[in-house]
Amino acid sequence: MLQARLAAASRCLRPGSRGDLPVAGAEAGLVRSRASPARCCSGVGRKWIKPTGRDTGIQTYNSLSRSKEPLILASAGVATWYSCGPTVYDHAHLGHACSYVRFDIIRRIITKVFGNEVVMVMGITDIDDKIIKRANEMNISPLALARVYEEDFKQDMAALKVLPPTVYMRVTENIPQIISFIERIMASGHAYTTSKGNVYFDVKSRGERYGKLTSVYPDVQEEMVDSDKRHVKDFALWKAAKPQELYWASPWGKGRPGWHIECSTISSTVFGSQLDIHTGGIDLAFPHHENEIAQCEVYHQCEQWGNYFLHSGHLLIKGNQEKMSKSLKNYITIKDFLTKNSADEFRMFCLRSKYRSAMEFGDDSMNDAKNLLQAISSFISDANAYMKGQLVCDPIKEDVLWEMLANTKANVKAAFADDFDTSRAVAAIMDLIHHGNRQLKAVTKEGGSPRSPVVYGTMLSYVEDFFNTVGISLGDRQVVPENKNSATFSSVIDELVSFRVKVRNYALAMPGATEAVQVEEGTILAKETKQEEKKTRRQLLLEREPLLQACDNLRRDLAAFGINIKDRGTTSTWEVGDQRREEQRPENGS
């Protein structure tokens, strides 16, 4: 597995070389790399460079160094964090939820326990082969489809109580920046164009500097399928558009960005040449994160762009040890899961293992999480009853509980500081609850013994604060269905439709016919005037056609959200369908 390979890989660096400027138009066909096999690495170039800045007091496992390192932030008290976001073409599933919830917990620990602000950027891939394919199947525009599932993803994250990033950034809103990013990489001699209009990153031009994250090097002999790439590991920066495919103009022709360049550009646009933390699932380490590193270090001409790469483990299906994924068709959507379980139950499930570990999902593991939450709730209920005088017990050994509480606080802080070890932290909390429960044993008659409500009040406050820190609400663990403000929603759509009506009416408005001109001897010079008017009208229609097309596209795309606009002469009305447009999937064999 990749995770095992990361742990076993060497930590040293092989010095790299930089290739000559490439020649456009690499030949397509079946080729074999002529480079020598991979060699044992040596030198210092691949060694992780310890950042300068403020030490947070946290030791975190860094995929770049394959070991735990002190988490040092370039700016005191502020962590810059880039998170790979979803490719929005379908509903998110629990495999996605696993990664986002785990990193949400880490984010909360960094902020609430260690007192650092987090500036997080999440990239949204809203143009992609899968999006285009799905949009064609549903007969809507790719961007409309992407907006539907982007909103769907955000709703799922809110239902799971995942904090939103500081800012979401869409690929399609950063095309000029991506083109400029590619141009600089090409100017440095690390990319080439082909006769087909594609642009590829020349992996061999990085020499042995490529592979610093996952120890995958470009000089391994591999065969390549029919392609216009020079080498099998070269990857697309810009993909030439296929017929009838959405495209943007570029110096290399019509096309769209490759996958890896999107995140590099978006992250660099916000954070520049230095990034504290980059996160994603372990399956993104190669090739995605590896290629991001190559692109950014070429673009910024730096030795180390991202200081810390954190990767979450897979969510495995119990019984077959397969990871949950759409390609394997073994997934459960977040929405389906939340019809039978709560967000807090899933979060507790995630807390019970280290974020880097694979987790086995099944009824047993979910029942364990539910039982833990029930035990915590029972303790809170009994402790509250004791504080109110409703539960009579033998004298409480306060000194024991105060000592346990102090030890628990220290152990939890130490666990969080040790690579965000939530499993150890939860175990410490449950041990505290166990000792608290041991002394909350009801007696049949009141003996007038002294009471100790303060120690239990302090324990309750700490336990509740702990779970609030990691995103669990002990008071109410059920997900409340989203309740949109219908008045605000209607007002927004009213304004949108009103604006569209004005644009449409302007586009359709034509100058009125000029009255016939009466001249001497009753002759009417109207024929020439009418011909001029027709010519003017044709010209105006041609000029305003893009406005009408935009109005039609808006009506079509809003229909994907269940909002139907009806044009009625010079006005328009809208209505929300009884249910969201049914997704059209191709039948078998189509």
Q: How far apart (Å, rounded) are the C-alpha atoms in residues 560 and 576? A: 11
- Using an 8 Å Cβ cutoff, are 160 and 100 in contact? yes
User: Amino acid identity of 276?
Assistant: D
Task: Using CA atoms of 101, 103, 106, 107 in order, give the dihedral in degrees to the nearest 10.
Answer: -100
In sequence order, which residues have a C-beta less than 8 Å from that of residue 162 and are 6 or more positions away? 100, 101, 104, 471
Kindly state the tokens that stand for 420.
Answer: 């965000």
Kindly state the tokens that stand for 12.
Answer: 């040293």
In sequence order, which residues have a C-beta less than 8 Å from that of residue 94 and are 6 or more positions away? 315, 324, 331, 332, 333, 334, 337, 346, 361
- pLDDT digits (tens), the chain, 590 positions: 333 333 333 333 222 332 322 222 222 222 222 233 333 333 334 689 999 999 999 999 999 999 999 999 999 999 999 999 999 999 999 999 999 999 999 999 999 999 999 999 999 999 999 999 999 999 999 999 999 999 999 999 999 999 999 999 999 999 999 999 999 999 999 999 999 999 999 999 999 889 999 887 665 555 566 689 999 999 999 999 999 899 999 999 999 999 999 999 999 999 999 999 999 999 999 999 999 999 999 999 999 999 999 999 999 987 666 777 766 677 899 999 999 999 999 999 999 999 999 999 999 999 999 999 999 998 998 898 889 888 888 889 999 999 999 999 999 999 999 999 999 999 999 999 999 999 988 765 665 667 889 999 999 999 999 999 999 988 643 333 344 456 678 888 888 988 999 999 988 887 765 544 444 444 555 667 777 878 888 888 888 899 999 999 999 989 888 888 888 777 788 877 643 333 433 444 33
Cβ neighbours of 151 (radius 10 Å): 12
Write out the H or E segment, with its range, that includes residue 121: strand 117-125
* Mutual angle of helices 527-559 and 142-159, in 10-degree steps: 30
- Using an 8 Å Cβ cutoff, are 392 and 441 in contact? no
Q: What is the pLDDT of residue 508?
A: 87
Q: How far apart (Å, rounded) are the C-alpha atoms in residues 235 and 288? A: 10
Task: State the pairing for strand pair 275-281/78-87.
Answer: parallel
Q: Give me the count of residues in the chain.
A: 590
Cβ neighbours of 573 (radius 10 Å): 11
Task: State the pairing for strand pair 199-201/191-193.
Answer: antiparallel
* Closest among 242, 315, 311 to 282, alpha carbons compared: 311
- Report in angstroms the alpha-carbon separations of 270 from 40, 111, 177, 467: 37, 20, 11, 32
Q: How far apart (Å, rounded) are the C-alpha atoms in residues 483 and 325? A: 30
Q: How far apart (Å, rounded) are the C-alpha atoms in residues 374 and 368? A: 10
- Using an 8 Å Cβ cutoff, are 346 and 160 in contact? yes
SS3 (DSSP) at 63: coil
Q: What is the pLDDT of residue 586?
A: 40
Q: How far apart (Å, rounded) are the C-alpha atoms in residues 571 and 508? A: 12
Nearest 5°: the CA angle 73, 74, 75 is 90
Q: How far apart (Å, rounded) are the C-alpha atoms in residues 381 and 182? A: 60
Kindly state the tokens that stand for 537.
Answer: 């009208």
Report how far apart the first and last C-alpha atoms of the chain are (Å, whole number). Answer: 36
* Closest among 371, 366, 353, 368 to 317, alpha carbons compared: 366
Q: How far apart (Å, rounded) are the C-alpha atoms in residues 329 and 263? A: 27
* Mutual angle of helices 290-300 and 259-271, in 10-degree steps: 50
HEC readout, 197-239: CCEEECHHHHHHHCCCCCCCCCCCCCECCCCCCCCCCCEEEEE
